[in-house]
Amino acid sequence: MLSDQEFLRYQRQIMLPELGESGQRLLLGAKVLIVGCGGLGSTVALQLAGAGIGKLVLCDDDSVELSNLHRQLSYRESDLGQAKAQALAGQIKRLNPSISTRSVSRRMSLDLLNIEVSLADLVIDCSDNFPTRQDINKACTSNQIPLVSGAAIGWDGQVAYFDGQQQSACYHCLYPFNESNQATKCSDAGVMGPSVNMTGSLQSMLAIRAITEPETLNTGELIVFNGREMSHQKFAIEKDDSCAVCSEGNNNE
């Protein structure tokens, strides 16, 4: 049963017939791992904390810089120089003190990811480079943990949901490489702040649904939107039967 305080705090989303009290209890009991606490991760973390996700693990090895503040709205000038994961945990505590948070202010190796992923109910990839994204995908596939992936650059953003099961497509099926010749970081190509926050919001929506009603989600579906044209498209990601990560008989190494 929800406490009176929990009911009052979350009553507007509890009123949704797709969620209700049972869905809220699922959120309160969930543990979510967020890798990356920049524009995407900071948006996702605060929205999930507001929604009542019980436990959040925040991973990032960067500190807050002045150039972050046009899009990473969780941070303030007073946070400059602080580790992002710790600064974000502080913001979460001010928003919703009942949320349990843990900060990991270090780069996530594959070994460390495997440990953290194995302890989570859901992983949200908010990282900004292909090698980390591929390692997150390997850890999620190996541990059969669902993954919500997101990326934003320029005016554009994309999100995808993978259920972590071997019979389904994974992130490596979509992007079977660790590096790209194109500029894939906002520090190289620029980025519009609202596009980042919109992408993070879509990741948050997918995360809430993945916890409360996973059967309604299409695993391996890529959603791409263009913020300048205000358009979006959906694509089904086909499973690669020779994928080095999720194909039958691989060892994820």
242 inside domain: no
Burial category of 154 from C-beta neighbours within 10 Å (exposed 0-12, middle 13-18, buried 19 and up): middle
Give the pLDDT score at 182.
Answer: 58
247 inside domain: no
DSSP line for 128-159:
SSHHHHHHHHHHHHHHT--EEEEEEEBTEEEE
70 inside domain: yes
Q: Give residue 72's domain range.
A: 4-177+185-211+220-236
Crossing angle between the packed helical segments 39-51 and 193-212, to the nearest 10 degrees: 40
Does 162 score more than 80 pLDDT? Answer: yes
33 inside domain: yes
Active site (annotated) includes residue 186: yes
Task: Report DSSP state, residue 231.
Answer: E
pLDDT (tens digit, 9 = 90+) per residue, 134-155?
999 999 999 999 999 999 999 9
241 inside domain: no
250 inside domain: no
Predicted structure pTM score: 0.95
197 inside domain: yes
Across the strands, what pairs with 226? Answer: 156, 231
Q: How many CB atoms within 10 Å of residue 111?
A: 9
147 inside domain: yes
pLDDT (tens digit, 9 = 90+) per residue, 117-136?
999 999 999 999 999 999 99
CATH at 227: 3.40.50.720
DSSP line for 153-208:
EBTEEEEEEE---TTS--HHHH---S--SS--SHHHH-B-HHHHHHHHHHHHHHHH
* Active-site choice (37, 126, 170, 186): 186
Give the strand pairing for 147-153 and 156-162. Answer: antiparallel
Give all strands (DSSP E) within 16-54, no chain letters.
31-35
How many folded domains does the chain comprise?
1
The CA–CA distances, whole Å, from 91 to 33, 36, 50, 110 equal 17, 15, 11, 28
CA dihedral 133, 246, 241, 232 (to 10 degrees): -40
Give the strand pairing for 147-153 and 122-125. Answer: parallel
User: How confident is residue 178, by pLDDT bands cut at 50, 70 and 90?
Assistant: confident
State how far the Cα of 200 lies from the Cα of 126, in Å rounded to an integer: 8
Give the pLDDT score at 187.
Answer: 67
- 3-class DSSP state of 212: helix
